[in-house]
Structure 1
Amino acid sequence: MRAPLSWLREYVELPAEVTGRALAAKLIDAGLEVETVEQAGADITGPLVVGEVLTIEELTGFKKPIRYCTVNVGRANGTGEPQEIVCGATNFAVGDHVVVILPGGVLPGGFQIGARKTYGRMSAGMICSVTELGIGDDHSGILVLPPGTVPGDDAIELLGLRDDVLDIAVTPDRGYALSIRGIAREAATAYGVPFTDPAAVELPAGEGESYPAAIADPTACDRFVLREVRGFDPAARTPLRMQVRLFRAGMRPVSLAVDVTNYVMLELGQPLHAFDRAKLTGPIIVRRAAAGEKLETLDHVKRTLDAEDILITDDSGPISLAGTMGGLATEIDEKSADMVIEAAHFDEVGVARMVRRHKLHSEASYRFERGVDRELPLHASYRAARLLAELGGAEIVPGVTQAEAPVAARTVTMAAGHPGKVAGVAYDRATVVKRLEQVGCTVEGEDTLTVTPPSWRPDLGDPNDLAEEVIRLEGYENIPSRAPRPAAGRGLTPRQRLHRRVGRALAGAGYVEVLNYPFTAEKDADALLLPEGDARRRALRLANPMSEDEPLLRTTLLPGLLKSLARNVGRGFGDVALFETGLVFRPREGAPSRAPRLSVEHGPSAEDIASVDAALPDQPRRVGVVLAGEFEPSGWWGKGRPATWADAVEAARVVAREAGVELRVEADRHEPWHPGRCAALYAGDVLLGHAGELHPRTIKAYGLPPRTCAMELELDRLAGPGTVVAPPVSTYPVATQDVALVVDGAVPAARVETALRDGAGELLESVRLFDVYTGEQVGEGRKSLAYTLRFRAPDRTLTAEEAGAARDAAVAVATERTGAALRGA
């Protein structure tokens, strides 16, 4: 909404020194979004005066019409002699009054005027058009002033060329601010000065009926008003000041009849429409459209109507899309003398849906969508009729037609202290009542207030809306800034603490965290070599995906991690170790494909919530890592070490240690890992995930370096003890025993380690595999596993016999379970 300051001053007694920028600051403090303040005409410098054309001489010999004029500008030129001006426009005649800028003046855009010889004659000044003056976009010729202006008078003041124009971005809940009336009321409140309501038009007493009308659908319209004027002069011109105001407010002047309806809409906020009385047939009815009906609107588009469209009709059918745009068949034209003026209150939702359905937005629909004052139609229609009578010589036909559907009064009950509780600032009752009355509310009651919002504020529907009005008018800047105080005893849950510990541990182990979008493509399942029927292939499809290439919710973290790895490698970072924690989405067997749409007429029941929950997928939290290149970098210290499947398994152990869980590792085959370099990760008998080297075909599909490794496990299954008890630390020395066992090549090292732990007993502190050997010395198909066993007692120093006995017991169990034999025995 563009609001000229001069227009606002007509209805609010602002101090003379108030500028547009000062008013904008006040309105912003009150919660309105003033985007810019344009100082229109500020770059115009005089002398810019009224001139009377005395003579016109047509110059010949040029490709376009050129006229040599003498113009009376009074004493403005210092001599009183006629001013000689060469002009190329032809739409003015001798005796016309025009706007003249004399040498030394400057027009908008920095266009300086001087005296110079042109077309063989001396030209001292310029006769101006509305475009050159910056008050319109009419390129048809010179601005001809109405009779009665005096040559030599200041044209800047006459036309109101200098003005501050506030451009306000009106939020959907403040439809009243789409009018000079609404902004002026806010300005009056901000400065504490009197406000004159432009809608306070005294209506004629004892009005009868005017043009017949009725409302067929009360859900579409609850008030419909018609007035008639006759004998309007179609040739009557819109006053220049009205044209300037319309242009400053962002609307193009068209004709007096159209300009009056637009002027009243901008002033009061009530959209109006004028029908040519001679083109109407029968009573006007407001109703919904019938299927298949058509209407050609003023933009010359033939529209097929929808059954939900709100129409204004007569006996011929639809004549207007209500609150949006009129029909071509009943438009007023250059011959229209008798008119029917329509003002109404249409359903906001119905208009909003209609304009989106037809992609037809207008200034009228913009206001109806945000809420128009239901009490305005009677006053706005009479003001428009009176302007047409005063400016266009029309006769107002006595009577008014008012069709109306009953609407219940709105009241809101609120505790007097509620605004203070919302803001955290103490407002006494008198302050609350004062501020509510300033926005037009009627307030009754003491501790509990019964508030009746004004008709122009349909957005005030509950106590929080009223609290907002009190708070904004008291000043947001007066609300102290205090850091919120968290409630005692609250903090992170054990699960949240585990997630953070896992992130810190992986970062400490050399991994870099990434955050990927939880979306994947259908081709990712093929790139991961997932077999048909794999649960990871069953993914939820988004109704409105961010990208058509990735319309599915992820069922595994690997696609996003592998694409991030490929992106880093492609940019020259070959040694990469990444990790991510996040949710995956696993649809449940038998779950509905779509969540039910619940009614908004009441709160959801327990059954409603259960039906929504049943449609939601399981959303376990997982952690994944990918690594390629050197895990230990090369340097002056020597050659680095490439990342291997063992590093991926160790990343899983890092995660498990943070949960206080002992991880069991077993060989497995699971896509997309290499069938010979894949490990299954267990906590007890619970499968957590997998780790190892990726399959070469997966590596090729994502463009990854050879031997890329990955790990993924489910954090939600990693349930450690609720309270971790620190183990006792013995002060006695450790006894170390090494043992080398020869086993079949197919026996996992983890199985041998488990047997050693079980056999060694309570004295065993740790066991570590430090060498794996295969070769002729152990035989074909066999391997040697060398372990270091550390023994320690909590209460004594172990003897060599005790340590040796514990080692022998461990070997005996390993031999029994795995068929191991001591190497060299």
Structure 2
Amino acid sequence: MKISEQWLREWVNPEVSRPALVAQLSMAGLEVDAVTPVAPAFDGVVVAEVQTLERHPDADKLVVCRVDAGTGHLLQIVCGAPNVVAGMKVPCAMVGAVLPGDLRIRKSKLRGVESHGMLCSARELGLSEDHTGLLALPAAAPVGVAVRDYLGLDDHVIEVDLTPNRGDCLSVHGVAREVAALNRCALAAPPVAAVAATIADTFPVLVEAAADCPRYAGRVVRGVDAGAATPLWLQERLRRAGLRSLGPLVDVTNYVMLELGQPMHAFDLGRLEGGIVVRHSRAGETLELLNGSVLDLAAGELLIADGQGPLALAGIMGGVASGCTDTTRDVFLESAFFAPRPLAGRARRYGLHTDSSHRFERGVDPALQVPALERATQLLLDIAGGSAGPLTEITSAGELPQATVVTLRQARIQRLLGIDIPPAETADLLERLGMSVDSVADGWRVTPPSWRFDVAIEEDLIEEIGRVRGYDRLPLHRPLSRFAIAPIPETRITLDRLRAILVDRGYQEAITYSFVDPAFQAALDPATAPVALANPISAELAVMRTSLWPGLLKALDHNRKRQQGRVRLFESGLRFVQTDAALLQDRRIGGVACGTAEPEQWGVPARAVDFFDVKGDVEALLAASGCGDAVRFVAAAHPALHPGQGARIEWEGELIGWMGQLHPAVEKALDLDGPIYLFELALDAVTDARLPRFTELSRFPAIRRDLAILLAEDVAATAVVECIRTYGGEWLRDVQLFDVYRGKGIDRGLKSLALGLILQDFSRTLTDPDVDDVISRIVAGLSSRFGASLRA
């Protein structure tokens, strides 16, 4: 929510500085994200009037203007704006002025004609990106006055990040109420008077869905001028709130929404038939929205309709068929209360998020509809003219939110806040928040105002007391508790240690959402149906992850698109898999890598990361537990992994994870730039460790023998090593694979493995016959099991 400080101080103006006001709001729970100037710095720009103009003698697109800038004489200024006309008021940068971007205005010649200044567009003043013509000022703008002063540009926008329960503060009025309560000062709300009807015209309204729309108000206004110019002051307030001016009919409804917090809509009366009907959609109905999208409506959606069909998705967005245009002359203004619960999630279901849906989902004051309609009607009549008809209101009192009377106990305040607040101060504080307070024996009976629908229980009131009185004024108490040191068994590897291993190997930790894009999820794990969220944050975060890979790949893509060529990310967290019995929440640790194998340097030639680099990272994790020798990497197919470059990770025959290169088809479908390598492991399998124990060291020398064997291409090196250990006997201490060769001298379908065998005994020095006997057994075993032979 963006609020102009000037606008806010028109409602309530405490004697506090801007930094103090911002600190007050943040400490009161209305966290301020940013405070930014409404316009960049510039000076020397004044209001000027174009008196006369004539064509430039040597340029078809330039004119020579005589401009009154309040200096006592007319200035000659050459201008190329297409909208410049005699008599208009415009910003004029005088000679010596400094514009945004440190542009200094000097006396110059344009095609041989002297120019003493510059007439400015909105973009040249940094007010918007509009550069189609000069910024036209109102005819009443006083000549010679500084534009900064006239437009009130020495203002700041306060951006407030509200929690979902504080929908009452999604307006200037709402924030002003808070500031007034915090500072014990008066609220100067603009008067809202009932607009007297000057015509008798009405438009029929039928509310069929009273539970979802307990209050609906509307009014006919005829003879409006849709082409009238929105006043500059109103355009500026919209701009400072982050909205564009779209003409008086839309601007008025947007302004009232920002000012009072009530979303509204204007229908073109000439395009309506029969009457307004507030109802639920029927299967098969469609609606083209103002943004151009066409919705295939599910049954049960709340609609505003007429005799022809749907007109608007209630509380979210209007439709093209009834939208106002430049030719609109008669309008029907709508101001309604839509219940928050039925609207929750409906906008996101269709990939929408609007200012209206943002407010209605959080809750709008159910007493605000008629005052907002009166305010909008008066503004519309003042700006675009016309004649207003009588107000139509349909209310289902039984369906409106009912005020909840909450009992507040003095003793409970002291227990939760740790401070004894005088009763008179408590009552005064709650009354400043608009609450009705009645004293009872041990406390108060409190009735929240209509706009505070988030106050329902005693603890809500105590929270209000704490935040408005000031969290910094609450006493500090050290908790009295007994602490026990949790045991850390040696057979358990901590997650911090695993994180440190990956960080040491060049990875950075990522924390991603547990809910992911359904398209990413389906591409990476098509066989598992993910758990869908009932009310997702957005359509791109609609299902729970069944793997860490979707979030990691999103994070990798984000970094790659920001010129990060070498990316190493890891994450630990839960995956969510629905089984027949329950929702399985499984702890995992995973990673993703792409780019070069090593950071750029002069000592090592650059090469791309490959399967074995990432396999080494996984083995480092497994080695921390001391159980790495029980883990096997088994070639296998996975829908997300490249055929031939994917492996199951098994521990004592049980699947504990996967690793490999991302499948090229998946890479293309997700619009990623590869090659990309991934891994994921069950965290419990990695954190189970072998208890360290001492192994005796031999005093006798070790002997190494190297073997080069030929065998079939499809035989895994791990299987060869296991076979050697089987036949090597008690003297075999270690086996090291130090070379794999394919090529010249090796038949097709075969490969050569070179292995170093370390043999040692604890009681004596081994002799050559001893070693030869072991090597013979090993060669015979390899031959019988794999058909291997010694390479000549």
- The interval holding the TM-score normalised by the smaller chain is 0.5 to 0.7
Residue 54 of structure 1 pairs with residue 51 of structure 2? yes
Q: In the TM superposition, what is the alpha-carbon distance from 1:626 to its structure 2 partner?
A: 9.6
Instruction: Please point out which of 110, 121, 141 is paired with 2:102.
Output: 110
1:356-402 per-residue CA deviation (whole Å, 9 max, x = no partner) reads: 11111111111111211111110001100011112222222133333
Give me the whole-angstrom Cα distance separating, in 1, the residues matched to 2:282 and 2:425. 52
Residue 35 of structure 1 pairs with residue 25 of structure 2? no
Q: 1:57 to 1:578 in 2, by over 3 A?
A: same
Q: In the TM superposition, what is the alpha-carbon distance from 1:431 to its structure 2 partner?
A: 2.7
Q: 1:578 to 1:91 in 2, by over 3 A?
A: same
Letter in 2 for 1:70: R
Residue 159 of structure 2: aligned partner: 167
Give me the whole-angstrom Cα distance separating, in 2, the residues matched to 1:484 and 1:706. 63
Letter in 2 for 1:625: R
Q: In the TM superposition, what is the alpha-carbon distance from 1:106 to its structure 2 partner?
A: 2.0
1:728-778 per-residue CA deviation (whole Å, 9 max, x = no partner) reads: xxxxxxxxxxxxxxxxxxxxxxxxxxxxxxxxxxxxxxxxxx989999xxx
Give me the whole-angstrom Cα distance separating, in 2, the residues matched to 1:416 and 1:178. 31
Give me the whole-angstrom Cα distance separating, in 2, the residues matched to 1:5 and 1:565. 59
Give me the whole-angstrom Cα distance separating, in 2, the residues matched to 1:57 and 1:234. 32
Residue 428 of structure 2: aligned partner: 434
Letter in 1 for 2:41: D
Residue 809 of structure 1: aligned partner: none
Give me the whole-angstrom Cα distance separating, in 2, the residues matched to 1:461 and 1:316. 42
Give me the whole-angstrom Cα distance separating, in 1, the residues matched to 2:14 and 2:444. 32
Residue 294 of structure 1 pairs with residue 286 of structure 2? yes
- Identity %, equivalent residues: 34
SS of residue matched to 1:502: coil
Letter in 2 for 1:68: V
- Superposition pairs of residues 442-453 of structure 1, within 5 angstroms: 442-446=436-440, 447-453=442-448
Residue 65 of structure 2: aligned partner: 69
Instruction: Please point out which of 460, 463, 469 is paired with 1:468.
Output: 463
Q: 1:184 to 1:621 in 2, by over 3 A?
A: same
Letter in 1 for 2:32: V
- Superposition pairs of residues 595-614 of structure 1, within 5 angstroms: none
Residue 24 of structure 1 pairs with residue 22 of structure 2? yes
8 A contact 2:8–2:172 mirrored in 1: yes
Residue 269 of structure 1 pairs with residue 261 of structure 2? yes
Residue 623 of structure 1: aligned partner: 688
8 A contact 2:46–2:144 mirrored in 1: yes
- Superposition pairs of residues 500-649 of structure 1, within 5 angstroms: 500-502=488-490, 514=498, 544-547=545-548, 577-578=624-625, 623-625=688-690
Q: In the TM superposition, what is the alpha-carbon distance from 1:211 to its structure 2 partner?
A: 2.4
Letter in 2 for 1:50: V
Residue 255 of structure 1 pairs with residue 247 of structure 2? yes
Give me the whole-angstrom Cα distance separating, in 2, the residues matched to 1:556 and 1:96. 69
Residue 241 of structure 1 pairs with residue 233 of structure 2? yes
Residue 191 of structure 1 pairs with residue 186 of structure 2? no
Residue 154 of structure 1 pairs with residue 142 of structure 2? no
Give me the whole-angstrom Cα distance separating, in 2, the residues matched to 1:250 and 1:27. 20
Letter in 1 for 2:268: D
Q: 1:167 to 1:95 in 2, by over 3 A?
A: same
Give me the whole-angstrom Cα distance separating, in 2, the residues matched to 1:260 and 1:221. 23
- Superposition pairs of residues 87-98 of structure 1, within 5 angstroms: 87-98=79-90
8 A contact 1:178–1:269 mirrored in 2: yes
**Long gaps (5+) in structure 2:** 503-527, 532-543, 551-574, 578-583, 592-610, 629-683, 705-718, 727-731, 741-753, 768-792
Q: In the TM superposition, what is the alpha-carbon distance from 1:351 to its structure 2 partner?
A: 2.4
Residue 478 of structure 2: aligned partner: 483
1:196-240 per-residue CA deviation (whole Å, 9 max, x = no partner) reads: 234754576999994221221123211111122122122321111
Letter in 2 for 1:468: E
| Count of matched residue pairs | 597
8 A contact 1:53–1:69 mirrored in 2: yes
Query: Which deviates further from its counterpart, 95-104 or 419-428?
Result: 419-428
- Superposition pairs of residues 310-325 of structure 1, within 5 angstroms: 310-325=302-317
Q: 1:696 to 1:450 in 2, by over 3 A?
A: farther
Letter in 2 for 1:432: T
Residue 655 of structure 1: aligned partner: none
Give me the whole-angstrom Cα distance separating, in 1, the residues matched to 2:448 and 2:721. 68
Give the TM-score of the pair, scaled to structure 2. 0.66
Letter in 1 for 2:689: G
SS of residue matched to 1:145: coil
Letter in 2 for 1:400: T
8 A contact 1:218–1:405 mirrored in 2: no
Residue 424 of structure 1: aligned partner: 418
Q: In the TM superposition, what is the alpha-carbon distance from 1:305 to its structure 2 partner?
A: 0.6
Give me the whole-angstrom Cα distance separating, in 1, the residues matched to 2:444 and 2:394. 34
Q: 1:483 to 1:203 in 2, by over 3 A?
A: farther
Q: In the TM superposition, what is the alpha-carbon distance from 1:620 to its structure 2 partner?
A: 11
Give me the whole-angstrom Cα distance separating, in 2, the residues matched to 1:633 and 1:571. 29
Q: 1:638 to 1:189 in 2, by over 3 A?
A: farther
8 A contact 1:232–1:338 mirrored in 2: yes
Give me the whole-angstrom Cα distance separating, in 1, the residues matched to 2:146 and 2:12. 26
Residue 13 of structure 2: aligned partner: 13
Q: 1:419 to 1:282 in 2, by over 3 A?
A: farther
Letter in 2 for 1:449: W
8 A contact 1:53–1:94 mirrored in 2: yes
Q: 1:204 to 1:512 in 2, by over 3 A?
A: closer
Residue 350 of structure 2: aligned partner: 358
Letter in 2 for 1:9: R
Instruction: Please point out which of 338, 341, 344 is paired with 2:333.
Output: 341
Q: In the TM superposition, what is the alpha-carbon distance from 1:42 to its structure 2 partner?
A: 5.5
Residue 747 of structure 2: aligned partner: none
1:37-91 per-residue CA deviation (whole Å, 9 max, x = no partner) reads: 1122351212x222121221212544x61111110122xx3xx110111111021
Q: In the TM superposition, what is the alpha-carbon distance from 1:514 to its structure 2 partner?
A: 3.5
Q: In the TM superposition, what is the alpha-carbon distance from 1:624 to its structure 2 partner?
A: 2.5
Residue 648 of structure 1: aligned partner: none
Give me the whole-angstrom Cα distance separating, in 1, the residues matched to 2:118 and 2:697. 80
Give me the whole-angstrom Cα distance separating, in 2, the residues matched to 1:265 and 1:631. 77
Give me the whole-angstrom Cα distance separating, in 2, the residues matched to 1:163 and 1:633. 79
Q: In the TM superposition, what is the alpha-carbon distance from 1:330 to its structure 2 partner?
A: 0.8
Q: 1:640 to 1:246 in 2, by over 3 A?
A: farther
Residue 763 of structure 1: aligned partner: none
Query: Which deviates further from its counterpart, 146-155 or 369-378?
Result: 146-155
Q: In the TM superposition, what is the alpha-carbon distance from 1:243 to its structure 2 partner?
A: 0.8
Aligned alpha-carbon RMSD (Å) = 5.0
Give me the whole-angstrom Cα distance separating, in 2, the residues matched to 1:556 and 1:707. 38
Q: 1:395 to 1:40 in 2, by over 3 A?
A: same
Q: In the TM superposition, what is the alpha-carbon distance from 1:166 to its structure 2 partner?
A: 0.6
Query: Which deviates further from its counterpart, 203-212 or 458-467?
Result: 203-212
8 A contact 2:498–2:621 mirrored in 1: no
SS of residue matched to 1:252: coil
Letter in 2 for 1:318: P
Residue 744 of structure 1: aligned partner: none
Q: 1:179 to 1:633 in 2, by over 3 A?
A: farther
**Long gaps (5+) in structure 1:** 518-538, 582-618, 643-670, 679-691, 709-769, 776-825
Give the TM-score of the pair, scaled to structure 1. 0.63
Residue 119 of structure 1: aligned partner: 111
SS of residue matched to 2:217: strand
SS of residue matched to 2:221: strand
8 A contact 1:308–1:350 mirrored in 2: no
Q: 1:129 to 1:483 in 2, by over 3 A?
A: same
Give me the whole-angstrom Cα distance separating, in 2, the residues matched to 1:281 and 1:199. 35
Give me the whole-angstrom Cα distance separating, in 1, the residues matched to 2:621 and 2:11. 71
Residue 803 of structure 1: aligned partner: none
Residue 732 of structure 1: aligned partner: none
Q: In the TM superposition, what is the alpha-carbon distance from 1:621 to its structure 2 partner?
A: 12
Residue 525 of structure 2: aligned partner: none
- Superposition pairs of residues 714-733 of structure 1, within 5 angstroms: none
Give me the whole-angstrom Cα distance separating, in 2, the residues matched to 1:215 and 1:380. 20
Letter in 2 for 1:230: R
